[in-house]
A and B are shown apart, each in its own frame.
Chain A
Amino acid sequence: MKAMGATQEEYYRGVRMVPYDLVKELVLALAGVGVIALVASVILSSPDVAPVTIAAWSQSDPVDFVTTATGELAGSTTSAGYGNPYNTDGSGQAWGPIAPQKWFGTRIPIDSAGTFVIQPLQRASTGNPDLGSALDTWQKASSDQQGKWTDAYAKALAKATAKDGKVVVEDGDYGSLPVMMSNLLAVAQAGGLDGLLQINGRFYQTDYTPALLFMGDGGYLSAQAEQWNLLGNQWGMMNETGRFPGQTWLWLYTMWYQVFPFNNETGFLGLNSSNADLGIIILMTLLTVALAVVPFIPVLRDIPRWVPIHRLIWRDYYAPKRRSA
């Protein structure tokens, strides 16, 4: 490694040195920034919109809740067909041969139907013989039969209404689904499903994967988010709830989601809205590396010479020198 100390002596030979108190500067900076943060905190506070619970979701929109739960059984929800790391029922995002989502396997196995519907109902069936036999009927039915019931029920749910917090559908052959779903809804509305999905038979828990995946499958969470402009197609990554600044430093990352080809179904060169996450990660990685090696990139490294901003910063240097006699 070059002898930096000696090199600084050489580097600054002939350069006029003036007093400059670094420690005082740091102390003043600490005080100044501290005051600004303090004043902002006292006057503006900070954002804290309460989290959505499965209870709130099922109470506010029971039809959406039951539709989502039915979809889990049918395998038609986002999580059910996601692919790795949750399951192998979907291929995930890929750009030609570049498909990192597939490369590392099913490391967070989630069986949507089992985790979100069947297991909670099994626990709820303790002391509930009606539910117990409905579950029995469901488990014993062939998957063809189950599929017929979920198809019919899903179609009916598209026209369903909510009355007194319950879901009302027209009559039809839905097998044991109505009993299962009304019980699941009741458990959810009482707050039991939040607990069951988070704890999942254990006591201590800090991993909210099942509960969040289930809520993400429904429409309620994103409906709330849309009100706060947090959706991906609303530059959501940059935004914050309430009247607070968001993550302005993510402007370039979120910008790509709003432009072609990433906002378009057909896209370009195999990049489109369905693999936008992957495409943008690759793009942003390349741009970040480029930023790190700007000193070696022609034109980019020369712009500072061409733009006269440095002439303002160093005007003492460029101005004719005034020396005391």
Chain B
Amino acid sequence: MDAAKPPVAVDEPDSWTLRVRQAIEKNLPMDNFLPHRQPFYVGSWVYVFGVITIAALVWVVVSGVVLAFMGPQWWHDSGVGRFFNSLHFWSVQLFFIFMVLHLWGQYFMAGWRNGRAATWAIGVVIFGVSILTAFTGYLSQQNFDSQFIAVNAKDAMNAGGVGAFFNVLNFGQMYGLHIMLLPIGVTILVVWHIVMVRARGVVKPIDPEGGIRS
């Protein structure tokens, strides 16, 4: 009786789900999200800095998860803990190194052209939020470094009027921001950034014949 009906071509009831799916299919079809080919001019090691930044971030999170699971005291008292702290420390160093190299590369390629200004701007925001995340991390170390950073940084926070809401002397607050809220923020921004890159594709080379203007 109820044979499968073919999909109705017009006059569908207003479905938000359908609209979302159609928007995704239009703006980020699978072919663009996971292409197996790239324009031939994507042939420089400079293009690799973005993905190795992501790789470093993955290691930051993995080592961070282990540290968070064992609690903030563990790495001071345990050799294994100290090792995971070292992994976390060096992954963070690599993350910032590769992110800045990626920024240099994108700047000299003027990667914001052809409708990609928002991608660039999100990248700068990621840079800022990453610095904030690292800052709360340094404050969460519970060693001399975090003491002195806290006592000094409070002056800048207070001068800016945010010291009462972002109290760098309050370990509990800084730790909570560092292990949960800020990593979620960084992850959301990075995913957004990647989606924007994949949706538009890699920008064309700078060419006086057409394609410099954003």
Q: Which residues of A contact B (CB under 8 A)?
A: 1-8, 11-12, 15-23, 25-26, 29-30, 32-34, 36-38, 40-42, 44-52, 82, 84-85, 92-93, 100-101, 103-105, 107-108, 206-209, 212-213, 215-216, 221-222, 224-225, 228, 230, 232, 236-237, 240-241, 244-245, 247-250, 275, 277-278, 280-281, 288, 291-296, 301, 304-305, 307, 309-310, 312-314, 316-318
Contacts and interface: CB of A to CB of B under 8 A. Distances in A.
A33 B56 contact: yes
B108 A307 contact: yes
A208 B175 CA distance: 12
Contacts of B141: 48
Interface in B176-214: 199-201, 204-207, 212, 214
B37 A17 contact: yes
B148 A225 contact: yes
A283 B42 CA distance: 37
Contact of A245 (B93, B120, B201): B93
B151 A16 contact: no
Given A5-B26, A16-B40, A50-B144, A11 B114 contact: yes
11 contacts: A1-B27, A4-B27, A22-B36, A25-B48, A52-B144, A208-B170, A212-B151, A236-B152, A295-B113, A310-B108, A314-B41
Given A1-B23, A277-B155, A278-B160, A51 B142 contact: yes
Nearest to B51: A29
B68 interface: no
10 closest A-B pairs by CB = A100-B161, A206-B172, A107-B164, A41-B86, A20-B38, A29-B55, A85-B164, A277-B159, A295-B112, A46-B86
B26 A4 contact: yes
Contacts of B55: 26, 29-30, 32-34
B143 interface: yes
A309 B108 contact: yes
Interface of B: 23, 25-29, 31-32, 34-44, 46, 48, 51-52, 54-56, 58-59, 63, 75-76, 82-83, 85-91, 93-94, 96, 98, 100, 105, 107-110, 112-115, 117, 120-121, 124-125, 128, 131, 134, 138, 141-152, 155-156, 158-165, 167, 169-173, 175, 199-201, 204-207, 212, 214
Contact of A37 (B59, B152, B159, B164): B59
A163 to B, nearest CB: 28
Nearest to A23: B34
A208 B117 CA distance: 43
Contacts of A45: 82-83, 86
Contacts of B151: 212-213, 215-216, 221
Contact of A314 (B120, B152, B160, B205): B205
Nearest to B155: A277
Contacts of B113: 295
Given A15-B40, A313-B205, 5 more contacts: A20-B38, A22-B34, A207-B172, A225-B148, A230-B152
Given A101-B158, A230-B148, A46 B85 contact: yes
Given A33-B55, A291-B124, A44 B86 contact: yes
B170 A206 contact: yes
A222 B59 CA distance: 34
A257 to B, nearest CB: 10
A294 B91 CA distance: 29
B38 A207 contact: no
B145 A47 contact: yes
A288 B59 contact: no
A148 B178 CA distance: 47
Contact of B124 (A29, A228, A288, A318): A288
A17 B201 CA distance: 12
A241 B74 CA distance: 20
Nearest to B118: A295
Given A208-B170, A230-B148, A295-B120, A6 B51 contact: no
Contacts of A21: 36
B58 A30 contact: yes
Contact of A304 (B34, B51, B100, B109): B109
Given A44-B86, A232-B152, A277-B156, A2 B58 contact: no
A208 to B, nearest CB: 6
